[in-house]
Structures are given as C-alpha cells and as structure tokens.
Amino acid sequence: MSKAMVIDDSRAIRMILAGILGELGYEVRQAINGKDALAQAEQNTDLSLFLVDWNMPEMNGLEFVQHVRKDARFAGVPVMMVTTETEINQVMKALEAGANEYVMKPFTKDMIEEKLRMLGAAQ
C-alpha cells in the first residue's frame, strides 16, 4: 500500500484529504506543520506523496517543500500544495521550490483526484 502524508494545521482539512486519499488506497500519515512533517518523514522514508498547506505555524508549506526537495530520499516524491494562496506569484514560488501541483482551497474531491491523476498518483 502506498503511503501519503497530509500536512495542514487544520484538523478538518487533514481529515477530508486523508479520507480522499484513503479511498484511493493510500495509507495516510498526518502532520500539523512542516516541522512535524519532516520529523515524521525521517521515520517513514517510504512515503510516496505529500499534500501540503502553505500557511502553517513553525514551518510553512513552502519551507517544507524547500527542505524535502534537498533530501535525496524524497527527490522524486510528488508534492501537491493545497492552500488558500491564490496569487499567481505564490503559485510560481511553490512550483519553483519543487511542488509538482497546486490546488486552491476550497477544493472538491474531484479536483484533488484529477490533480493526483495528473501526477500519476491515482487511477
């Protein structure tokens, strides 16, 4: 079973995204911010997908993407930003940092599944 991590400081968003990923056959880990996610990733080096919010305390999503892209173990792991940041320059920053896809909140299940299909991470 593939493993994914949902990184968001909102418990409700984590639960919604974990439900969608669970239906797609993922075992899901959850983290409350980028710092928590990096600590968990150290123990779960077999992760195959990250869904990450931008605005979080301690370490935001952009900082997380920058850190995870420096780690050879996760270099090829798809990262999808799921965030309220809608400015085109924010989208560009995330993609330049190494995010593979970008979804703006509010989102639908279909939007998430479509982006995951584009990444080759869903059937």
Digit-coded pLDDT (tens) for 28-42: 999 999 999 999 999
Q: Is the per-residue pLDDT at 1 higher than 90?
A: no
74 in Cβ contact with 41 (< 8 Å):
yes
Distance (Å, whole) CA 122 – CA 37: 22
Q: Which amino acid is at 23?
A: E
CA dist 84 and 106 (Å) reads: 7
pLDDT higher than threshold 90 for residue 122: no
pLDDT in tens, 75-96: 899 999 999 999 999 999 999 9
CATH code of the domain in which 83 resides: 3.40.50.2300
Question: Is 123 part of a structural domain of the chain?
Answer: no
- Domain coverage including residue 76: 3-118
- How many structural domains does the chain have? 1
Which position has the token pair 């990262």?
79
